[in-house]
Amino acid sequence: MDKSYFRELFHPKLVNPVFIEGLPGFGNVGKIAARLLVKSTQAKLFTELYSPFFLDYVTVNKKGICRPPRYEFYASSAEKASFIILTGDSQPSVDDITAHYELCGEVLDFVEKNECRFLVTLGGLPSPQPAREIYVAATSQKLATDFVEKGALLYGKGRIMGATGLLLGLAKKRGLEGITLLGSTKGIKNDHEAGRSVFDFLAKTFEIQGE
């Protein structure tokens, strides 16, 4: 494999879907929240993305069958909104900056192809004493203010690593709008409480019935 490729399983019929990303990262907060969203909305896997930018390992299931790492795109239509949800096995190596930009660019091409105009990226924010706070950063001051009014804390003067941050920054360059929601976490191991807190905030914001 010398380049990324998308494997479409079926083409969903969605109206103005919101794109939501939750990939592995600090405490796996974003991935946990995204998986909860997939379950609560009964989202269906419709596209897989394979890429040489992923790490060099395979995932082995309970039956001993192996496959390379991938990103997974799920589609769902909740009562109030439609979603395309991205989650997956891994991100590129932290040292491979070009891979991060290339892969995020390919994801955004896919986002635009599927007529998403609003993005929500999910992740963890390292904290020595997390208190389940939810922080927000956005592509505009108005969006940031709107979500602070919904109960999030403003995240300022910092960095957001990996796809959670880069997707949002590159999306803004394309004229797309969006926010990132960060759950405070020690980030050492899977933080299910932080993931649940991010999911609960997301569900409340988009009026999604919790699972």
Structural domains for the chain: 5-205 (3.40.50.10900)
Burial of 187 (C-beta count, 10 Å sphere; 0-12/13-18/19+): middle
Any idea what DSSP says for residue 25?
-
Number of Cβ atoms within 10 Å of the Cβ of 170 = 16
- Cβ(122)–Cβ(205) under 8 Å? no
Dihedral sign for Cα atoms in the order 35, 73, 67, 161? negative
- The pLDDT value given to residue 211: 56
User: Three-state SS for 80?
Assistant: coil
φ and ψ of 88, to 5 deg: 175, -175
Helix axis angle for 97-113 and 162-173, nearest 10°, is: 60
User: Three-state SS for 118?
Assistant: strand
Dihedral sign for Cα atoms in the order 130, 134, 139, 141? negative
φ and ψ of 188, to 5 deg: -85, -40
- Cβ(73)–Cβ(19) under 8 Å? no
Tokens at residue 70, please?
């991938």
pTM for the model stands at 0.94
Give the separation between CA 34 and CA 28, rounded to whole angstroms: 10
Per-residue pLDDT 10s for the chain (211 aa) are: 789 999 999 999 998 999 999 999 999 999 999 999 999 999 999 999 999 999 889 999 999 999 999 999 999 987 778 999 999 999 999 889 999 999 999 999 999 999 999 999 999 999 888 888 999 999 999 999 999 999 999 998 889 999 999 999 999 999 999 999 999 999 878 999 999 999 999 999 998 875 5
Give the separation between CA 143 and CA 90, rounded to whole angstroms: 29
